[in-house]
Chains A and B, each alone.
Chain A
Amino acid sequence: MVTVTRTDPRVIAESVVDPELPMLTLADLGVLREVAATGDRVVVTITPTYSGCPAITEMRTELHRRLTEAGHPEVEVRTRLDPPWTTDWISDAGRRKLAEHGIAPPGHAPESGPGPVPLRLGPTRRHARCPRCESADTEELSEFGATACKALRRCRSCLEPFEHMKEI
């Protein structure tokens, strides 16, 4: 009797990385919602980060490629939109890796209550520690950055600029 061993599809799916934040796996980022295997068929479910984030297409392609190469003949990557992704889903390991790579991890996402969304005329209060010197004395340079998910900040202690993943 011949037994074909294939790597557990969950292990493979969890190790695929975000093309724009390659220090993070899809599991770290919290976009990987489910991996289900029945017989020859693997169904991976992911939730996009931002509506317009181009990385999601790369993630789908990469999941399909890696699982197919690992010997899973039938791979389907499904999108799940509800509930929407939040930075609160980024794992502790993911937060640590972001900081190690010079990107300040997000704080807690703002709560959304019922009724109209309140207008915020003042600057968004964000507390990000400098990923280089760990000073809490930092300021925002630009609320929008090189990707939809990041703002640009500067440390007032060591004067280095750094990126901050915004809470959403």
Chain B
Amino acid sequence: MDNAYEALVESEGDTRWAFGTGFDDPLAGVDATVPAGVDGPDLGAYCLMLGDDALILSHRLSEWCTRAHELEDEVALANISLDLLGQTRMLLARAGQADGSGRDEDRLAYFRDEEHFRNVRLCELPGGDFGRTIARLLVFASWRLAAFNRLGESRDPVLAAIAAKAVKELTYHRDYAARWLVRLGDGTDHSHQRAREGLEAVWPLVDELFEPHDVERRMVGAGVGVDPASLREEFDAVLGQVLEPAGLATPETPAMGRVGGRAGRDGVHTEHLGYLLAEMQGLARAHPEATW
């Protein structure tokens, strides 16, 4: 084809485009059976937690599109965002299957209000500068990789398969963030300062990552989930491997408090999530009957 625009007006009809054809269920044909002895609504809530973490951080990373300092890093952040969105789609689809509601990924992503989102608050924190984006990505990917590596053994075969796939992706997400944090921390005075400030900004939301919710406790009991508290040791070891060559100290900023004992997993969020959802959900809510 001589002209790239010709492809756009190719007259093959709508068959060329998959959207709206009903072929976009990411779990089509996957056996949806909930394993015996596993509580469906709990499994659904658990998948929603893991899916919402990826969805909200994916959105934050996508905010870098057209704004990054170099094309290579813009492409990197967009790729990582897309991987997380792919994980989101499968996890939300699994959530809607398991909880018996039959809600699909779009219903769950676009038509829930803030208090029904189960993501940890780390994910909704505004991206800030590149230093903060990298610090948050390192914290998130290190934590999620440790969890998903164990979830490969989950008694829910669908969750186990989603996790096994995601491990490959989270591995290079973590490597990317770790290399950049070393480069910034061990770079100029200015880049070191930005990296340190970024790490200090996200650190208050680190402890929450390792505090199990009741749903998570029950999923551990059922052999489906991992206990987040058990991930701390691996997380600290990985962070140590990065912070040392980066010349950065573990921040001492105090943890952000819970609200009446509740936090992100309970649907209690910071003020930032509402603004994020307004942007993310606005179009779908303005045209609720639309298909694309």
A: residues with CB less than 8 A from B are 45, 48, 50-53, 56-58, 60-61, 64-65, 76-85, 112, 116-117, 119-121, 123-124, 141-146, 148, 168
Chain B residues near A120: list those with CB within 8 A. 175
A145 with B87, Cβ < 8 A, contacts A64-B23, A65-B15 known: no
A144 with B175, Cβ < 8 A, contacts A77-B29, A82-B160 known: no
Q: List 11 A-B residue pairs with CB atoms under 8 Å apart, sorted by A's residue number.
A: A51-B89, A51-B169, A52-B82, A52-B89, A80-B30, A81-B161, A112-B167, A121-B175, A121-B245, A146-B75, A148-B82
Are A119 and B241 in contact (CB-based, < 8 A)? yes
Q: Report the bound CA distance from A57 to B166 in whole Å.
A: 19
Chain A residues near B175: list those with CB within 8 A. 119-121, 124
Chain A residues near B85: list those with CB within 8 A. 52
Q: Is B119 an interface residue (CB 8 A)?
A: no
B158 partner, pick from A48, A81, A144, A148, beta carbons under 8 A: A81
A76 with B29, Cβ < 8 A, contacts A51-B90, A57-B24, A84-B164 known: yes
Q: Is the interface of A mostly helix, strand, loop or mixed?
A: loop
Q: Which residue of A lies closest to B12 (CB)?
A: A65
B176 partner, pick from A51, A82, A143, beta carbons under 8 A: A143
Give B213-251 as 1s and 0s: 1 = Cβ < 8 Å from A's Cβ atoms: 000000000000000000000100110011001000000
Chain A residues near B171: list those with CB within 8 A. 117
Are B15 and A144 in contact (CB-based, < 8 A)? no
Q: Report the bound CA distance from A84 to B167 in whole Å.
A: 10
A78 with B165, Cβ < 8 A, contacts A65-B15, A119-B178, A145-B75 known: no
Are A78 and B79 in contact (CB-based, < 8 A)? no
Are A53 and B86 in contact (CB-based, < 8 A)? yes
Chain A residues near B174: list those with CB within 8 A. 117, 119
Q: Report the bound CA distance from A143 to B70 in whole Å.
A: 13
Q: Which residue of A lies closest to B176 (CB)?
A: A143
Closest CB of chain A to B194's CB: distance in Å? 20
Q: Report the bound CA distance from A45 to B158 in whole Å.
A: 16
Give B77-116 as 1s and 0s: 1 = Cβ < 8 Å from A's Cβ atoms: 0111011111101100000000000000000000000000
Q: Is B155 an interface residue (CB 8 A)?
A: no
A61 with B76, Cβ < 8 A, contacts A50-B86, A78-B30, A121-B241 known: no
Chain B residues near A57: list those with CB within 8 A. 18-19, 23-24
Closest CB of chain A to B222's CB: distance in Å? 20
Are B23 and A77 in contact (CB-based, < 8 A)? yes
Are B75 and A142 in contact (CB-based, < 8 A)? yes
Within 8 A of A (CB), among B37-54: none
Closest CB of chain B to A125's CB: distance in Å? 12
Q: Report the bound CA distance from A45 to B31 in whole Å.
A: 13
Q: Which residue of B lies closest to A51 (CB)?
A: B86
Are B26 and A168 in contact (CB-based, < 8 A)? no
Closest CB of chain A to B17's CB: distance in Å? 8
A52 partner, pick from B86, B168, B176, B241, beta carbons under 8 A: B86
Q: Which residue of B lies closest to A166 (CB)?
A: B172
Are B168 and A168 in contact (CB-based, < 8 A)? yes
Give B165-188 as 1s and 0s: 1 = Cβ < 8 Å from A's Cβ atoms: 111110110111011001000000
Q: Is B201 an interface residue (CB 8 A)?
A: no
Q: Which residue of A lies closest to B83 (CB)?
A: A52
Q: Which residue of A lies closest to B30 (CB)?
A: A79
Are A61 and B15 in contact (CB-based, < 8 A)? yes
